Structure 1
Amino acid sequence: MTNISRQPAFIYTYAYNDAERSLCHLEMRSFFGIDTELKILKSHIKIDPNRSPFMKGRLEILADGDGVEEIIAQAPAFGTEEETNKVIFLKINDRQGTDKIENKERLQIERAIGSEMQGDFDLHNPDQLFAIVPFGGRWYFGTYTKSEPIWFHHMKKPKEYSTALSTRVARAVANIAVPHPEGIRAIDPCCGIGTVLVEALSMGIDIVGRDINPLVCVGSRENIAYFGLTGDVQKGAIEDITETYDVAIIDLPYNLYTHASWDEQFEILKHARRIAKKVVIVTIESMDERLNSVGFQIIDRCVTKKQLFSREIVVCQ
């Protein structure tokens, strides 16, 4: 049975490698409350696919049906005479193995739908992009938004720091901390050269930065301005913060010269709990007992790896 969807619904497709799986799944759970091994997910929650470093794109469902024929029958209702369009078959779907739809059939389906739609078909520069995908035993059709790797453009900064998070990981961490930014105030009280700040600000997250090192504060401001963003970065220790926030992101300080002692970590964690309702902690060592000792409850977590180096990302309340 064909159904023109009434309640907005979306299908998201993903691409990630084994080392990124845990991080991607935590980001999925933060956005949607669920994760999946299928790399395709359906939800009524609308997320800009440019936010995630793992999303390939988003299909906004306009129609669904038991078979392709039902979608083709509805195709004349879509598109306009004033705009050109293109239909793509999403290769990321749950039809694998013997059920996999090969390239020749995918092209035939694209042409069959496109030829029935209003407006001209343009393969190279369409005004509107549509997509079709099989998922969960049904077929879904709608407008398609490709993800742009905005995080990739942030890789080259004026100021670099050897142990800073990669822009890809920093973007995912910002999403885990603030999946739905409206009305949320965030702080990065150990912001370093601002890798998380740049990603968060570029997604419209209301976040401020603090750091005890005046040189990295200058570097953080320079990096933010370099990408045309506006952000508040002030020199100061976390214990001096008097305002409260909805969420804090803390990449615990470490490297050859500035590895924080347990006493220093305890102070950071204690004050993080004081200033924020929710705290996302990035650490190179497991610290469940330490988090419990300052009254945190761990609600989710993941591990992200790069070669032999791994970080744990812990979501606390």
Structure 2
Amino acid sequence: MQYLYSFAWQKDEFEISRLEMRTFFNFDVEDNVLISEQKIEPSRSPFMRERLDIWAQGTTFEQLVDFAKQIQLGDKSFKIHALNNSKDAILPKLTRTVRNDMMKKIGYAINAEPDLDNPDVLIGLVLYKDVYYLGELVHGEAVWLHHMQKPEMYSTALSTRDARAIVNIAAPFPQGLKVIDPCCGIGTVLVEAMSMGIPIEGRDINKRVVWGSRINLRHFGFEPRVEVGPIEEASEGYDVAIIDMPYNLFTHITEDLQQSIITNARRIAKRVIIVTIEAMDDKITRANLTITDQAILKKGTFERQVLICE
């Protein structure tokens, strides 16, 4: 089985979206369509629009019509959706007339009942790089949008969208992984991880923000596993640690403390994702870690580095 994914991103998100793409698929693409044998739930990513589970492909549209005659849906109803439109943004863009004609021909060929309002199966149809594809279409849901308004907020916290991408970069295939955010702040990363079913633990040296993170997690229906204490007191045995390096006008973190955070992240976890506003290369090297991939996370003129370290 192959899968066709479509993506959307803002200009400032290009690098981070490609870093997430590489962690899921081991390669990235310049445009907004990727085809892979790797199956990813599109709602996990803030950049994935949809996934087409490819049933058939052909160099001519007639080949898809012939295949559609063989589709067996039983008692299930269906609806056809053509992706070469302005909203889905897959090139070439086809006119409404052309899309409707294509959907009508495929629909007539399928031996099942159509339902335009509540279909059991949504079937996607797309022309991409001179190849026609047909398959079951799965739309992504912007789950992270529901987490934007938290009871407790923190001015320098990652956005929910960025936090979700960073969790995916840290744990693209999370089954069996043990994950920790030892500088968790008000829990933005924890919320996104738990909303994807990824077990994660948090801790922070600041009692006030730990209290806030627990409130936020319970607000979204998650049981908080957050402790008060520095990373130096964290036990070993994690597969991955996510470190959003503390900073702001009221957090006067020394270079020694930065080094201790990175060194202890290396001690407790096999893999470390570091988010930082300043260069950490020397400190990462001293912690016996190597940067294996990276991206710039932008918000206007403000930039963070996202570093994968092993």
- C-alpha distance in 2, partners of 1:52/1:185? 20
Question: Relative to 1, partners in 2 of residues 1:128 and 1:259: Cα closer, same or farther, differing over 3 Å?
Answer: farther
- Runs of 5+ in structure 2 lacking a partner? none
**What is the distance in 2 between the residues matched to 1:105 and 1:286?**
52
Deviation at 1:136, TM superposition (A): 4.0
* The one of 220, 239, 248 aligned to 2:232: 239
Give the structure-1-normalised TM-score: 0.93
- In 2, Cα distance between equivalents of 1:118 and 1:150: 35
Q: Deviations along 1:241-297, whole A, 9 cap, x unmatched?
A: 122210000000011101422111000001001111110000011222221122110
Structure 1 unaligned residues grouped into runs of 5+: 1-7
Structure 1 vs Structure 2 CA RMSD: 1.4
* 1:140 is the counterpart of 2:146: no
User: Secondary structure of 1:292's match?
Assistant: helix
Q: For 1:186 and 1:244, locate their aligned partners in 2 and report how far apart those are by CA, in whole Å.
A: 9
Deviation of 1:135 after TM superposition, in Å, equals 2.7
Q: What amino acid maps onto 1:296 in structure 2? A: L
Which residue identity lines up with residue 51 of structure 2 in the other structure? R
Q: Aligned partners of 1:89 and 1:38: how far apart in 2?
A: 19
What TM-score comes out, normalization by structure 2 length? 0.95
- Residue 73 of structure 1, aligned match among 66, 71, 91: 66
* Residue matched to 1:86: 79
| Runs of at least 4 residues off by over 6 Å | none
Say whether the 8 Å CA contact 1:201–1:230 is kept in structure 2. Answer: no
Correspondence 1:180 to 2:173: yes
Correspondence 1:102 to 2:89: no
The yes-or-no answer on 1:53 pairing with 2:46 is yes
2-side partners of 1:285 and 1:104: how far apart?
Answer: 53
Give, in whole Å, the separation in 2 of the partners of 1:198 and 1:293: 31
Contact (CA 8 Å) 1:201, 1:231: kept in 2 or not? Answer: no
Within 5 A, what are the aligned runs for 1:124-139? 124-139=117-132
Amino acid at match of 1:193: I
1:1-317 alignment, distance < 5 Å: 8-78=1-71, 80-91=73-84, 92=88, 95-96=91-92, 100-317=93-310
Alpha-carbon separation, structure 2, partners of 1:256 and 1:107: 57
Moved more, 109-118 or 13-22: 109-118
Query: Which moved further from structure 2: 301-310 or 245-254?
Result: 301-310
Stretch of structure 1 that moved more, 16-25 or 224-233? 224-233
Q: Determine the C-alpha separation between the residues in 2 that align with 1:229 and 1:145.
A: 26
Partner of 1:3: none
Shift of the alpha carbon at 1:141?
0.8
Aligned length: 307
What is the CA–CA distance in structure 1 between the aligned matches of 2:64 and 2:21, rounded to whole Å? Answer: 29
Structure 1 residue 139 displacement after superposition: 1.6
